[in-house]
A and B are shown apart, each in its own frame.
Chain A
């Protein structure tokens, strides 16, 4: 039923079918010792540092493999135990299959090592409806539990309910939600629940360079007088072939609304062009949010460009940021009454491992995200109600 492979270098694996959690725990312990010993010619390390538990819900085998690859890309940052769960509640027989691996890395020239363990659980039958009873025994005691939800939230709420009681922080990816309004609505609801101490969204992390650029330019003395009173926003998002789900664009708009203090309760549609206006203290803001075709390199829903236009001293200025066709660069264009400035800035690749690492660095709540999320949802709901 089970086989141990290795020791080879510092990575060891084990797999077993129809196993119990006690067996999984004892095999993990053995692998950890052997993996640690293997890195130093058989000498056993007695000390390890641990930061967190990461529980991953994967909708299917493909998602589980992808999650495993993403996690493998960031072990040097996070000594951790990852538990990837694939469920099949419809199976007639209740059964748990497990694949375990332990990896220890020694930094070159240093006497330090980082050890990570990964457990892939395939849970079938009725046991899949009682995941907490399988996952809790496998968590490393008294370490924060991060839960990474890799799929759409809707339709799988029972799994989430099962596990969220033991999670400190939920990390979702709103780009994968089937529907923006209901998916973001669920996140808002979860953000208020205990014992969750925080909620994260990889789709929000994709916006980080965009938000940084907007903030830098908005706060620059030349542009600030104009952007104090933004009256128009245009956001374009990728739509390649089929209809995109625009949660990323709405999160950015929600963030802008929170930063500028717009009243997202007061939204009105503005004519047939698909635009709408948001009430703000310094006058209405007209918003145009539209899909952009011809972006084959981008995932549907990812941001293509954003433009802010404002008025100050009776004159207009604008700031626009957009894709360049090169995934490593964004184009920035500033139009002031006296001049037009254009340039390119380098951005990091939208690597899921890096984004996950950022999320795992967060301990408490990400209030900027929660505010943006709340505003984005308010706008989505107001638009749906106004239809």
Chain B
């Protein structure tokens, strides 16, 4: 953000610095004409500008293949902000923000294009005083990552340090590889140009307030940690349910499937945060050290074990929210005999002292009846059922602590209470804590949080290379098991608008349990 923008918003640069404002910087968005920049990045940056959170000398260089002028890029950016910003456009702030927007049209593999990028960065450094600090954002399809990384290494625009004058950082979007081997290859390539400390692998789930709140809830309170273990917890359910289909991402999704698109990243992050040991400090290294230990402790599901520990499915035509919707195979860019899974259920064990023999049930799917992401800790039943003669024991549900990520962010605890009157009647009650206050103040989007962290050089909420590889190791075993499974699955096997295939219910029934009603 330029100095004028700061003044327009009414704050002094000194104050920002004292609050830990980021260093001056030029941010390069590769794929600046694409969907991610349009929907997420530019609106997030503008909102940071509105909140006076951007550094006083901040410029954005858009780089993409679209043959746009600088003027066109600014016009497109304004459209993005108008359509997707969580707050309306303030003309004075917009003008200052837009003055810092520059555009370079070029091909990702083309050295000449990157030379122009390098000279633009040098020019901006002189003009805006960005101090040689560069933040690169790879908002492009994964196939373009290697091309860009290689070119970045050749043009002397990547500083050697993560912090200090002339720092360089790179933000890499998901998907980070498509299996263990490709993730390793991508890590190697990144490390040929950047040090690991300079690499920020983004998973926008970690930018969500309620995901971060899992850490606060667990480790800022004294009463939960003592019962957060195998002695008191019966099992854990983690659900990421989506009511949408693949929409316009058919060709991407066809290659990815639910396992790669959702489980490898978002769900493994949720699992790590819920199951991790207390870190010794709230900093990038300590938190990520503990997260990766969880993934290393996850029991691998190999070969024929996929039949007992996993279930997959694909949606057929159906009805969602009162609308008739097509099946996956009828979606654009999806082959009519596709065997790509749109639903996954897993049973995972974390083989350590805390979680031995406690199953973690994960499920995610598209075209389920409603959108809901949550982590539910199911505690063991009371050891002695004092009221067994008074109430119907099967209807006595155990205590459940639920952390809802979206929608209706909050935490709820289910317990039993006596209904008023005589004779004694017991019924479950939900006590719900809603993030009412933060909801009403309009919390920053996940991208705002994470972009600001990257600008500040705080990688706590980004994924480290060993974390990514550990998660891929688990997924790759499962994918290989599926590839060998015969007969091939009889897709589609669940109707859009239902809770997934029967196979997923059987996974729970075999253990005498059932999926929570989301």
Partners in one complex: yes
Chain A interface (Cβ < 8 Å from any Cβ of B) = 20-22, 25-26, 29, 33, 36, 44-51, 94, 96, 123, 126-127, 130, 132-134, 136-137, 139-145, 166, 197, 361, 363-365
Nearest chain-A residue to B514 (Cβ)? A195
Q: Are A21 and B427 in contact (CB under 8 A)?
A: no
Cβ-based interface call for B341 (8 A) = no
In the complex, what residues of A have CB within 8 A of residue B419's CB? 361
Q: Are B370 and A136 in contact (CB under 8 A)?
A: yes
In the complex, what residues of B have CB within 8 A of residue A142's CB? 376, 400, 402, 412, 414, 430, 516-518
Chain A proximity of B351: nearest CB distance (Å): 29
Nearest chain-B residue to A135 (Cβ)? B369
Cβ-based interface call for B227 (8 A) = no
Q: Are B321 and A47 in contact (CB under 8 A)?
A: no
Q: Are B372 and A141 in contact (CB under 8 A)?
A: yes
Q: Are A94 and B322 in contact (CB under 8 A)?
A: yes
In the complex, what residues of B have CB within 8 A of residue A361's CB? 419, 425, 427
In the complex, what residues of B have CB within 8 A of residue A22's CB? 321, 371
In the complex, what residues of A have CB within 8 A of residue B434's CB? 33, 46-48
Return 25 A-B CB contacts under 8 Å, by A number.
A33-B439, A44-B437, A46-B434, A48-B432, A48-B434, A50-B430, A96-B322, A130-B319, A130-B324, A132-B319, A134-B322, A137-B369, A137-B370, A141-B372, A141-B404, A141-B517, A142-B376, A142-B412, A142-B414, A166-B517, A361-B419, A363-B425, A364-B391, A364-B395, A365-B392
In the complex, what residues of B have CB within 8 A of residue A145's CB? 517
Nearest chain-B residue to A95 (Cβ)? B322
Nearest chain-B residue to A77 (Cβ)? B420
What is the number of contacts between chain A and chain B, taking CB atoms within 8 Å?
115
Chain A proximity of B200: nearest CB distance (Å): 32
Please tell me which one of the listed residues A48, A51, A130, A197 contacts residue B427 in the complex, with CB atoms under 8 A apart.
A51
The answer for the CA separation of A126 and B518 in the assembled complex, in Å, is 25
Q: Are A132 and B369 in contact (CB under 8 A)?
A: yes
Task: Report the interface size class on chain B.
Answer: 35 or more
Q: Are B430 and A49 in contact (CB under 8 A)?
A: yes
Q: Are B322 and A46 in contact (CB under 8 A)?
A: no
Nearest chain-B residue to A33 (Cβ)? B436
Q: Are A50 and B322 in contact (CB under 8 A)?
A: no
Q: Are B425 and A130 in contact (CB under 8 A)?
A: no
Nearest chain-B residue to A165 (Cβ)? B498
In the complex, what residues of A have CB within 8 A of residue B517's CB? 139, 141-142, 145, 166
Q: Are A127 and B374 in contact (CB under 8 A)?
A: no
Q: Are B321 and A33 in contact (CB under 8 A)?
A: no
In the complex, what residues of B have CB within 8 A of residue A133's CB? 318-323, 369, 497
Cβ-based interface call for B142 (8 A) = no
Cβ-based interface call for B408 (8 A) = yes
Cβ-based interface call for B435 (8 A) = yes
In the complex, what residues of A have CB within 8 A of residue B371's CB? 22, 137
In the complex, what residues of A have CB within 8 A of residue B318's CB? 133
Q: Contacts A44-B437, A48-B432; is A127 near B322 (CB within 8 Å)?
A: yes
**Interface digits, B418-443 against A, CB 8 Å rule (1 contact, 0 not)?**
01000001111111111111011000
Q: Are A45 and B402 in contact (CB under 8 A)?
A: no
Chain A proximity of B64: nearest CB distance (Å): 32
Chain B proximity of A158: nearest CB distance (Å): 13
Please tell me which one of the listed residues A94, A134, A363 contacts residue B392 in the complex, with CB atoms under 8 A apart.
A363
Please tell me which one of the listed residues B322, B395, B408 contacts residue A29 in the complex, with CB atoms under 8 A apart.
B408
Please tell me which one of the listed residues B321, B374, B440 contacts residue A141 in the complex, with CB atoms under 8 A apart.
B374
In the complex, what residues of B have CB within 8 A of residue A143's CB? 430
Q: Are A45 and B392 in contact (CB under 8 A)?
A: no
The answer for the CA separation of A210 and B61 in the assembled complex, in Å, is 82
In the complex, what residues of A have CB within 8 A of residue B374's CB? 141
- Extra A-B contacts (8), CB below 8 Å, given A51-B429, A142-B414: A20-B323, A33-B440, A132-B497, A139-B517, A142-B518, A363-B425, A363-B427, A364-B395
Please tell me which one of the listed residues A36, A127, A136 contacts residue B323 in the complex, with CB atoms under 8 A apart.
A127
In the complex, what residues of A have CB within 8 A of residue B427's CB? 51, 361, 363
Chain B proximity of A16: nearest CB distance (Å): 13
Please tell me which one of the listed residues B320, B436, B497, B516 contacts residue A46 in the complex, with CB atoms under 8 A apart.
B436
Chain A proximity of B382: nearest CB distance (Å): 17
In the complex, what residues of B have CB within 8 A of residue A46's CB? 433-437
Q: Are A50 and B432 in contact (CB under 8 A)?
A: yes
Nearest chain-A residue to B437 (Cβ)? A44
In the complex, what residues of B have CB within 8 A of residue A21's CB? 321-322, 370
Chain A proximity of B417: nearest CB distance (Å): 9
Cβ-based interface call for B122 (8 A) = no
Q: Are B402 and A134 in contact (CB under 8 A)?
A: no
Cβ-based interface call for B178 (8 A) = no
In the complex, what residues of B have CB within 8 A of residue A126's CB? 324
In the complex, what residues of A have CB within 8 A of residue B226's CB? none
The answer for the CA separation of A208 and B425 in the assembled complex, in Å, is 18
Q: Contacts A51-B429, A127-B322, A361-B419; is A44 near B395 (CB within 8 Å)?
A: no
In the complex, what residues of A have CB within 8 A of residue B404's CB? 141
Chain B proximity of A14: nearest CB distance (Å): 17
